Structure 1
Amino acid sequence: MTLLHLVLGDQLSHSLSALGDATPHGSLVLMAEVMAEASYVRHHQKKIAFLFSAMRHFAEELRGRGFAVRYVTLDDPDNRQSLMGEVERALAETGAEGLVVTEPGEYRLMDEMRGWQAKLGVPVEIREDDRFLITRAGFGRWADRRRELRMEYFYRDMRRHFGVLMRGAEPEGGQWNFDKENRKSPPKGLKGPRRLSWRHDAITSEVLDLIEARFPHHIGRLRPFHFAVTAREAEAEFEQFVTEILPSFGDWQDAMVAGEAYLFHSMIAAYLNAGLLLPVDVIRRTERAYQEGAAPLNAVEGFIRQILGWREYVHGIYWRFMPDYAGRNALDAHRPLPALYWSGGTKMRCMAAAVHDTIEHAYSHHIQRLMVTGNFALIAGLSVEAVCEWYLAVYADAYEWVELPNTLGMALYADGGLMASKPYAASGKYIDRMSNFCGGCSYDVKDSTGENACPFNSLYWRFIAVNEDKLRGNHRMANILAGWRRMDEGKKTALLKRAEDCLALLEKDVL
């Protein structure tokens, strides 16, 4: 019996479960570029180009291993422009008698696939994605034993289970995380190293021309295009990070510097999430750097926590609580997403920098996402749905399973504290401490109520005032709420007026 093995654009791993029993003789691999997946949100041009080029290179690797590959390009005149449409066409034209696929990363597609067998009239086997270190069922068993699903405790259990950075039953260095050592303010002149760049081969060049022709109205600057598009290239970028960059990652991982989009971050999330790198390999290689004395513990632990902790945790949260999770809006935030999120057109230097980095690179690092664009969305009360759609569209590493919990849960506190023990709301003081943006800004970070006062300051206190009742039961917010209640009434009035003025300017797109 000939089987059709479907490989999705974020499943570019030769160890993929859908390919586990595929053979060069008797199996047919299907890969398809379809408009339904490329445009269900207005994905960044670089993101689409990265995936299409990586998919085409992966198809060539499969052919080099002797597999028969049916690859459908976006501009194929017979392309039905949906995954099910291309599966249906392949079954009809090849006579394949069944379909094998690895479970997709997004609920909407999983829900669709569950109905494929009835619609296609052939057996459809949906296999577990075993590239994650904990299965969905395994996360469920962990969660069932917990009253609160905090990432920190999940991370410790994962460290114990996999024996990562452990000395017997105790964590390496005597503590589980080194966050306090990883929050240094950036010194003047801090710069990140030069990164690897890749020449465009014929495949990538053809893809870039296609994206320019088909997606001109999507966000982002397509060229220059800097992504690795094969596992070999992705591995080379990761090796550069480990050997040259990782030692500085810990100290400066929360720092933000104008003109330095990358600093000392790894830049591998897009490769991990598309399957070009595997998390277990990344974790073990990073751990080895510490064991060999090539990188300090605070850097290695902080990096491993992002993958063994956060990445696995948000994947588990997503699948445990979907589809209802996507509709949560605990703080009742509905303000329309302002134009500056798409253009970067604002006098707030930190926001302009984060959005411009995003437009240029399909990337900004995690503190910019959480404490600049995310923090502003939180304290301005922006629509949860619109903000989540923006994050999903603009970053090359974004898929709903990773984007939604990080945005809805962490940045916007819209799940009511399921993930975060308190809202990640902050005034301009935090941004001033962790960046060099405020010194050259049109707004005064030390002022809260004047005409040129930093909008983050008044919006922060407005956020506290508006959500006081909703946050009253949160013990971590008690001191802040008490401080608001004790505040002089005149100052409260001035703060709230300045906040409303800022929101009015935001609505006019002149903030």
Structure 2
Amino acid sequence: MDHSLRTLDHGRSTLSLVHVVFGDQLNRQCSVISELPKNTVVLMVEVSSASTKPVSHYQRTLLFLSAMRAFAQELTEHGQRVHYVRITDAENTHTFQDEIVRCSRLIGATSLSCVRPGSHQALTSVQDAASALQIPFQLHEDSHFFDTPQGFNQWADGRKELRLEYYYRELRKKTGILMDSPKEPSGGAWNFDSENRKPWRGSTSDLPVPVSLPEDQIVAEVRKDLAVAMPDLPGKQHGFRWPITPAAANHHLHDFIENRLPRFGDYQDAIVAGQPFMHHGLLSSSLNLKLLNPRDVVAAALDAYNKGAAPINSVEGFIRQILGWREFIRGVYWREGPLYQDRNALHHTGSLPEWFWTADTDMKCQSDAIDPVLEYGYSHHIQRLMITGNFALTSGMNPKAVSDWFLGMFVDGVEWVTEPNVIGMALHADGGIVGSKPYASTGRYVKKMSDCCKTCRYKPEVKSGPEACPMSVMYWDFFMRHEERFTRNARMFHIKRNLERFDDQERSQIKYAATELRKSLGLAGETP
């Protein structure tokens, strides 16, 4: 198959309207793309700054560039004119704004447009390019999502707190998804969280193996370009398994629905050493790049439920991630604005330890959570939140540094989804906008939900001494450091009661153990 891309001649032409498409907008079914005027050029650019600020996992860059090239090829095959700039092109300035300006002048653009992109920075780059060119700019809302930023704001305005559960119920009612009647949810309940917290106690041989498709010529070409342009990106280069086309993404979707959705609900929080995929969908990168339509994903899950192929706790738990959490997080991102990324309500300044880049730590749960990040650019949501994110929170790591690591090192990293999940959900650095309390736990939670502790040298029940579990030590140290803030929170009453049981000696031992751990783990920085 010919994977070459048609570009414009360098002279001006009648093609004067320029529509910018970013790497997370690869949706030919988008009404804006399908209804572009005939004199429109689609502009797509690969820039190195997208992989260096913050630094990106090799496979994340490989995925984005491969999927972009596949999309550009699809557009040209359907008659759309595309101007495509590769990362190895000699004229490439390697920033979005400069490339948009350069290419728009080359084309002779009289106006710029784009669908709302996945970051404030990307949107600003197009707006500023239009200003520099002194031409009009039009922003289109993204029909990929169930709701718009404006719709989210209408729901959020006047509320004292923004809570996922209430927004999710509103969208269920509005769309009719998993509703038996306008007011009655399917299965008689809005969620089935209480059924979805089982640890895996079976054999690893009983876990389903997700489908993995062979690499094609486009991926091979991108690999060659990266070897020249960015050979030193972190993460493993082999083992690439992520879809780069809608057809491949749909193949992965059907594999999940058939083979993993039925037990997804029961075991969505379970952790097994060396088994990063478990019963998870592995669809987030395809959704975030728009290779999959969330309506199709939800419809496939509903079809399995209606046919009796998947139980309500699995289907509702999965749909809540798509219809609920994904939409809620995006709403928060656009509502809070570009300064959200700098929120640091707890004044944490600790640096990221070296083992975030190597997985070389004797904390078994941490090494098991970071290993698949280095291997695939992936770990599942409980490893992200309750293992890596949990420890980053309680040990006092700088929120922006942690957020940048998550954004760059995961193949599904797009700013709108990463920032609120990390800054808000994992690190509570937004002061409670996303979550009403910190999502923190001791090593006891890890022991309950995983098999990591069986081969770890630390003991979850121990809070001081050489066998003290760092997860437990940092947990108690965190709540002692922020005792005044969190003991006023009604949801933290049990924490307050436990802290009241600690005498001065036990508090001193925990504080000393935490200080020594920070030194030994390379967590430089002040902790309040």
Shorter-chain TM-score range = over 0.9
Q: Does 2:385 correspond to 1:370? A: yes
- C-alpha contact (below 8 Å) 1:17/1:102 kept by paired residues: no
Aligned AA (1:173): G
Per-residue CA shift, 1:370-411, capped at 9, x if unaligned? Answer: 000000011101111111111111101111110111101111
C-alpha distance in 1, partners of 2:48/2:460?
Answer: 44
Partner of 1:173: 187
Tell me whether 126-135 or 87-96 shows the greater mean CA deviation: 87-96
Aligned AA (2:143): D
- C-alpha contact (below 8 Å) 2:345/2:429 kept by paired residues: yes
SS at match of 1:71: strand
C-alpha distance in 1, partners of 2:519/2:102?
Answer: 52
Relative distance call for 1:111 and 1:28 in structure 2 (3 A) is closer
Partner of 1:32: 45
- C-alpha contact (below 8 Å) 2:27/2:291 kept by paired residues: yes
**Structure 1 position 335, deviation (Å):** 1.0
Aligned AA (1:13): N
- C-alpha contact (below 8 Å) 1:18/1:100 kept by paired residues: no
Q: Does 2:30 correspond to 1:16? A: yes
* Structure 2, unpaired ranges of 5+: 1-13
**Structure 1 position 508, deviation (Å):** 7.7
TM-score (norm 1): 0.96
Q: Does 2:254 correspond to 1:239? A: yes
C-alpha distance in 2, partners of 1:330/1:122?
Answer: 40
SS at match of 1:165: coil
2:141 to 116, 128, 149: 128
Q: Does 2:125 correspond to 1:108? A: no
Partner of 1:5: 19
Q: Does 2:58 correspond to 1:45? A: yes
* Structure 1, unpaired ranges of 5+: none
C-alpha distance in 1, partners of 2:41/2:511?
Answer: 63
Per-residue CA shift, 1:172-205, capped at 9, x if unaligned? Answer: 1111111111100110424531222222222110
Q: Does 2:160 correspond to 1:147? A: yes
C-alpha distance in 2, partners of 1:504/1:399?
Answer: 32
**Structure 1 position 274, deviation (Å):** 0.3
C-alpha distance in 1, partners of 2:43/2:337?
Answer: 28
RMSD: 1.5
Residues 295-334 of structure 1: pairs in structure 2 closer than 5 A? 295-334=310-349
SS at match of 1:70: strand
Partner of 2:245: 230
Aligned AA (1:123): P
1:78 to 91, 97, 100: 91
- C-alpha contact (below 8 Å) 2:352/2:523 kept by paired residues: no
C-alpha distance in 2, partners of 1:393/1:37?
Answer: 9
Relative distance call for 1:293 and 1:145 in structure 2 (3 A) is farther
Aligned AA (2:477): R
Q: Does 2:485 correspond to 1:470? A: yes
Tell me whether 429-438 or 474-483 shows the greater mean CA deviation: 474-483
Partner of 2:453: 438
C-alpha distance in 1, partners of 2:134/2:230?
Answer: 35
Where has structure 1 moved over 6 Å in runs of 4 or more?
none
Aligned AA (1:10): D
Number of aligned positions between the proteins: 508
**Structure 1 position 280, deviation (Å):** 1.4
**Structure 1 position 67, deviation (Å):** 1.4
Partner of 1:99: 112
C-alpha distance in 2, partners of 1:498/1:83?
Answer: 47
**Structure 1 position 76, deviation (Å):** 1.0
C-alpha distance in 1, partners of 2:321/2:44?
Answer: 30
SS at match of 1:407: helix
- Aligned-pair identity (%): 40
- C-alpha contact (below 8 Å) 2:98/2:129 kept by paired residues: no
Aligned AA (1:293): G
Partner of 2:8: none
Partner of 1:428: 443
C-alpha distance in 1, partners of 2:523/2:30?
Answer: 49
- C-alpha contact (below 8 Å) 1:7/1:18 kept by paired residues: no
Aligned AA (1:107): H
**Structure 1 position 498, deviation (Å):** 1.8
C-alpha distance in 1, partners of 2:470/2:143?
Answer: 45
Tell me whether 323-332 or 44-53 shows the greater mean CA deviation: 323-332
Per-residue CA shift, 1:474-500, capped at 9, x if unaligned? Answer: 111122112212223332222222222
C-alpha distance in 1, partners of 2:280/2:321?
Answer: 11
Tell me whether 221-230 or 359-368 shows the greater mean CA deviation: 221-230
- C-alpha contact (below 8 Å) 1:261/1:364 kept by paired residues: yes
C-alpha distance in 1, partners of 2:160/2:306?
Answer: 35
C-alpha distance in 2, partners of 1:254/1:182?
Answer: 7
1:483 to 498, 502, 505: 498
Tell me whether 166-175 or 297-306 shows the greater mean CA deviation: 166-175
Per-residue CA shift, 1:348-384, capped at 9, x if unaligned? Answer: 0010011111000100000000000000011101111
